[in-house]
Amino acid sequence: MTAGKVTLETATGGILLAASLLTRPAQAEEYRPDFVAHPVGPEAGRWALGLGVGFDVLPRRLVEAEWRQLPHAWLRSRVGLGRKFYLSQRANVVIIDNQFQLGLGWGHGVGEFAFGIHDHFGVNWGTMFVSGFDAKGWAFAHNPGVSVEYPLRGVITTLTVEALILHARHITVGEASLTQKHITFQGMSFGLTFESPLESKNVVFYGLAVVYAKPDYQLWLAFSDAEQRQIYPRFFAGYAF
């Protein structure tokens, strides 16, 4: 009797435990926003899309008395591939100077700290048609880089350093043209991006970059033969979802 009673109580307890597990509401998974600058990309199969605006303030000695601010429409997207890899796409669009790139990145987090490496390839192109001046140009660009991140008072702060490399370029001005097929190191870009998660599970991002590059990389219309690199700032802000 005692053994049978114990067995019955054990079985009953097991059935009740199983029933409670099956009927218990599933606990919400820990939410991790899909950022567009964080060294660690989205999880496998997830996609992050960021849209925004930015503008460069070109050096006065480069543009002289002309307009210094060069605005851009920004697009940043990343798709998780698994094993900490992600596919990245970047586009900066304004008629006079445009950029489209595809890249591959890998990131890893250790506690609150994260780091990553990435490499982007793409094309830069632009056109300029005004009275008495007809110019267009394109170039193949390559931007390998690294990034590190640390949360700062609830804001994800990412420092990104990239090399600016051109593999080839072609510029046409009226009937004249210039073609370069050799690889040239143009300079470096140092960017700081702040990403703030919202209750809507989307992200607001903003930041600035300091570009240290040759004049003809900063503005292909400059047609400069100077090798001295110059510094100019780049500001940007956007919304990721």
pLDDT in tens, 181-192: 999 999 999 999
CB atoms within 10 A of CB 96: 14
pLDDT in tens, 83-133: 999 999 999 998 788 999 999 999 999 988 999 999 999 999 988 876 666
Nearest to 233 by CA among 204, 206, 208: 208
In a domain, 29, yes or no: no
In a domain, 17, yes or no: no
The predicted structure's pLDDT at residue 196: 94
In a domain, 8, yes or no: no
In a domain, 14, yes or no: no
In a domain, 23, yes or no: no
Please state the domain count of the chain: 1
Would you state the structure tokens that stand for residue 87, as one six-digit string? 């596919």
pLDDT at position 217 over 90: no
Distance in angstroms (rounded) separating the CA atoms of residues 148 and 180: 34
pLDDT at position 60 over 60: yes
64 φ, ψ (degrees, to nearest 5):
55, -115
Name the residue type at position 81: L
The predicted structure's pLDDT at residue 226: 62
In a domain, 220, yes or no: yes
In a domain, 184, yes or no: yes
Give the Cα-Cα-Cα angle 62, 66, 70 (nearest 5 degrees). 80
| CATH number of the domain enclosing 201 | 2.40.160.20
The predicted structure's pLDDT at residue 30: 47
Domain range for 87 is 34-240
| β-pair partners for 127 | 136
In a domain, 62, yes or no: yes
**pLDDT exceeding 90 applies to what percent of the chain?**
57
Please, what is the end-to-end C-alpha distance for the chain in angstroms?
A: 64
The predicted structure's pLDDT at residue 53: 96
The predicted structure's pLDDT at residue 80: 96
* DSSP annotation of 44: B
